Amino acid sequence: MHAPSPTLDEITEPYRWRWLILVVMLVAEVMDLLDASIVNVAGPALEESLGAGPVGLQWVIGGYALTLGAGLVLGGRLGDRYGRRSMFLIGLSAFTATSLLCALAPNVESLIVCRLLQGAAGAMLLPQGLGLLRENFSGSELTKVFGIFGPVLGLGGIIGPVLGGFLVEGDFFGLGWRSVFLVNLPIGIAALITAAKCVPKKAGDRTVGVDMTGAALVVSSCALLVLPLNQGQEDGWPLWTWLCMAASALGFVLFAVHQRRRAAAGREPLVTPGLLRKPAFTVGLGGIALFFAGLVGTQLVLTLYLQIGRHFTAGDAGLGNLPLAVGTAIGGAVSGAVLADRIGRKVLQIGPLVQLAGAALLWSELDGLTTASFSVGDIAPGITVSGIGAGMVIAALFSFVLAAVGDKEIGSASGVLSAVQSIGGSVGVAVFGSLFFTQAGRGDFTGGFHRALVVQACLLAAFLAITFLLPGRGRPDEEQHGIDDTPAGTRNAAV
């Protein structure tokens, strides 16, 4: 393990440290994904320590997802050009450093800036994992690797509030909420040292072009969308908020036009233009945005309701997310192991119906609560049922959207889907956070949760309608990850 990093040319048989590479990829990328939700339970602590208001909290949570999603496709392309090992090490170093900056933030404004930078670092780190695994595993081993990789990453984002609650309430060494970020330091440094030693070197392809203009259009369009959603409610929806959202829509249109022109000129675009001409793929993007906006938004509202409305500690609020995590794991296992192969696209229609049933159950549970006797157990059944429905969708959704694209477009399509998922989550934080805080400001915390459930139901209804436009069968797992005989570096890979 302590020998100099070998080059791929020196490897004539399976690399002896390849399973250690898998461990490093999982640790680094779970750390990256955890930070999307680990701050959810730190709201009261941030308010007390830094004076963070509702809008500031929404930016601290959603800003990370915004820059992560906006930069994912660019991060994948940089890995193609400069080498995935190099970009992984750079991204991991930057992520660890920005985690330290977040922990040292003296005020909420600087914390927001650091979180935006942390998301950008994550966007450089996260896309490299699948490519590195493809470079170091093959055949049946690679199929097994992705069988481990996907579920672990899926659970990583869900358990964030639980871990965050443990760290905030534990107040280790008097660090409070800062420990949420400091925990990344030893993990990041250990992963960085291990990766530098064990990940083989492979040069990137310098002929791969990097479309910085396209990247700038994506980042600016995302910012113009999330900014008014975060600020609009507090400012009374002035004219500038509507102009920003209109400019955001125009920016995404300009991005699509720019990608087509770049491809027509023989230059490599960030996104394969043919993807945007596939109706099933484009509506699938909309479905992913709707679904994850609702999922991430309601998870945030649940945590806020427990802490602000029911005065739970950070640790108890984190544990309050366990029914959702358990339900999601159950739904994912049932969907992935049984339903998706047997009933095809119907699993994506059963899932939201189960979620809607869970939301209805949760509504009735909230109506029957009294302040004196409240416990998480009172609402756990509704949360668990909602989680089961969500897990059914999460386990199958990407495979059905990717079934609409060609084999050579899988890499680019996967990167776009991951970016839309993250941006959808950021929008969900802004919309659902604003809804809850509006009612919370009037002391109506249950009403705020009710409003969130109504909006989630609307999003799920729209998502359900979209599922009828998706392919009837999903793409096999190995094809989703590009497991074929084509060298990884020759694909239009974004992840």
Q: Could you give the CA distance from residue 194 to residue 23 in angstroms, rounded to a whole number?
A: 10
List phi, psi (to 5°) of 483: -85, 95
Domain end position, chosen among 143, 170, 200: 200
More confident residue, 224 or 480: 224
Q: pLDDT tier at 49 (50, 70, 90 boundaries)? A: confident
353 and 462 together in one domain:
yes
Our count of domains for the chain comes to 2
pLDDT at 461: 96
Contact 348, 472 (CB under 8 A): no
Give a yes or no: residue 255 inside a domain.
no
Amino acid at 127: P
The number of helices, as runs of H, and strands, as runs of E, in the chain is 21, 0
Q: pLDDT tier at 482 (50, 70, 90 boundaries)? A: low
pLDDT tens-place string over residues 343-380? 888 999 999 999 999 999 999 988 877 666 788 888 89
The DSSP code for 201 is: B
Q: What angle do CA 190, 193, 194 make, to 5 degrees?
A: 85
pLDDT at 493: 34
Q: Could you give the CA distance from residue 176 to residue 89 in angstroms, rounded to a whole number?
A: 29
Give a yes or no: residue 443 inside a domain.
yes
Mean pLDDT of 304-313: 89
Give a yes or no: residue 493 inside a domain.
no
Contact 249, 89 (CB under 8 A): no
More confident residue, 35 or 244: 244
Range of the domain at 429: 271-486
Q: Could you give the CA distance from residue 209 to residue 80 in angstroms, rounded to a whole number?
A: 9
Domain end position, chosen among 144, 177, 200: 200
What the block records as the tokens of 39 is 């701050």
Q: What is the mean pLDDT of the chain?
A: 85
Q: Could you give the CA distance from residue 394 to residue 351 in angstroms, rounded to a whole number?
A: 9
Contact 432, 420 (CB under 8 A): no
pLDDT at 111: 95
Can you give the CATH number for the domain in which 382 is found?
Answer: 1.20.1250.20
Q: Read out DSSP for 355-403?
A: HHHHHHHHHHHHHT--TTT--GGGTHHHHHHHHHHHHHHHHHHHHHHHT
Contact 288, 421 (CB under 8 A): yes
More confident residue, 37 or 67: 67
Of 22, 116, 6, residue with least CA distance to 61: 116
Give a yes or no: residue 435 inside a domain.
yes
Q: pLDDT tier at 388 (50, 70, 90 boundaries)? A: very high
Mean pLDDT of 283-289: 93
173 and 288 together in one domain:
no
Give a yes or no: residue 352 inside a domain.
yes
More confident residue, 117 or 20: 117
Mean pLDDT of 206-210: 82
pLDDT tens-place string over residues 310-325? 888 888 888 888 898 8
What the block records as the tokens of 161 is 């509030």
Q: Could you give the CA distance from residue 195 to residue 171 in angstroms, rounded to a whole number?
A: 31
On the question of pLDDT at 330 being above 80, the answer is yes
Domain end position, chosen among 145, 170, 200: 200
End-to-end CA distance of the chain: 27
Q: Read out DSSP for 104-139?
A: H-SSHHHHHHHHHHHHHHHHHHTTHHHHHHHHH--H
What the block records as the tokens of 56 is 């500031």
441 and 293 together in one domain:
yes
Mean pLDDT of 166-181: 87
Q: Is the dihedral of CA 71, 76, 79, 81 positive or negative?
A: negative
HSE, CB side, 13 Å, CA atoms: give it for residue 371: 7
367 and 457 together in one domain:
yes
On the question of pLDDT at 105 being above 70, the answer is yes
281 and 191 together in one domain:
no
183 and 288 together in one domain:
no
More confident residue, 285 or 329: 285
Q: Read out DSSP for 468-485?
A: TTS-SSPPPHHHHTT-SS
315 and 396 together in one domain:
yes
Give a yes or no: residue 123 inside a domain.
yes
Residue whose tokens read 């994948």: 76
On the question of pLDDT at 484 being above 60, the answer is no
3-state class (DSSP) for residue 292: helix
277 and 176 together in one domain:
no
As to burial, measured by CB atoms within 10 angstroms (0-12 exposed, 13-18 middle, 19+ buried), residue 374 is middle
Of 201, 185, 215, 198, residue with least CA distance to 92: 185
Give a yes or no: residue 184 inside a domain.
yes
On the question of pLDDT at 490 being above 60, the answer is no
On the question of pLDDT at 489 being above 80, the answer is no
309 and 179 together in one domain:
no
286 and 177 together in one domain:
no
